[in-house]
């Protein structure tokens, strides 16, 4: 815009960018290739603006991203919300590999009970290294 002689503040562009990014995200999700049925799920934490944040993420066997979620809490509710959202976007996986996280274990167990399906859960701190 500046090359054309129009001076625009970043605050003016931000609302437009937020609207466009939502549309682009929906288009990219529709065009995304189907994912594998074996997922690796993990969470990590880092400091952002002086506060600890937790990033839940899952990838398939080919290291394609299934989904991710940034939260302020690391608990059962956050893990369940992440897993439900990933399943709604990509259907039920056959296997999920996780580390020894109690929240992830409880979230998978609750999804198993709610959906009455058998998702194989593998727990090992080495199996989901592709995620890290």
Average pLDDT over residues 43-55: 90
pLDDT of residue 1: 75
- Quote the mean pLDDT of the chain: 86
CA distance 124 to 111: 20
- What is the value of pTM for the model shown? 0.71
Q: What strand order describes the sheet that includes 95-98? A: 65-71, 51-60, 38-48, 95-98, 120-123
Q: What are the pLDDT digits (tens) for 82-108? A: 999 999 888 889 999 998 888 899 999
Helix (H) or strand (E) holding 95: strand 95-98
Q: What is the pLDDT of residue 5?
A: 87
Residue-range domains of the chain with CATH? 36-123 (3.30.420.10)
Residue 101 has a CB neighbour count (10 Å cut-off) of: 17
Q: Are 112 and 119 a contacting pair, CB within 8 Å?
A: yes
């Amino acid at each position: 815009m500046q090359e054309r002689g129009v001076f625009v503040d970043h605050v003016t562009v931000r609302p437009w960018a937020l609207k466009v990014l939502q549309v682009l995200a929906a288009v990219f999700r529709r065009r995304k290739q189907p994912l594998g049925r074996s997922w690796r799920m993990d969470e990590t934490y880092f400091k952002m603006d002086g506060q600890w944040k937790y990033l839940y993420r899952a990838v398939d066997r080919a290291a394609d991203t299934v989904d991710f979620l940034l939260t302020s809490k690391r608990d059962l509710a956050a893990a369940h919300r992440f897993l439900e959202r990933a399943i709604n976007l990509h259907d039920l996986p056959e296997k999920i590999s996780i580390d020894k996280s109690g929240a992830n274990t409880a979230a998978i167990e609750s999804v198993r009970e709610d959906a009455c399906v058998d998702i194989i859960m593998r727990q090992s701190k080495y199996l989901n290294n592709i995620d890290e």
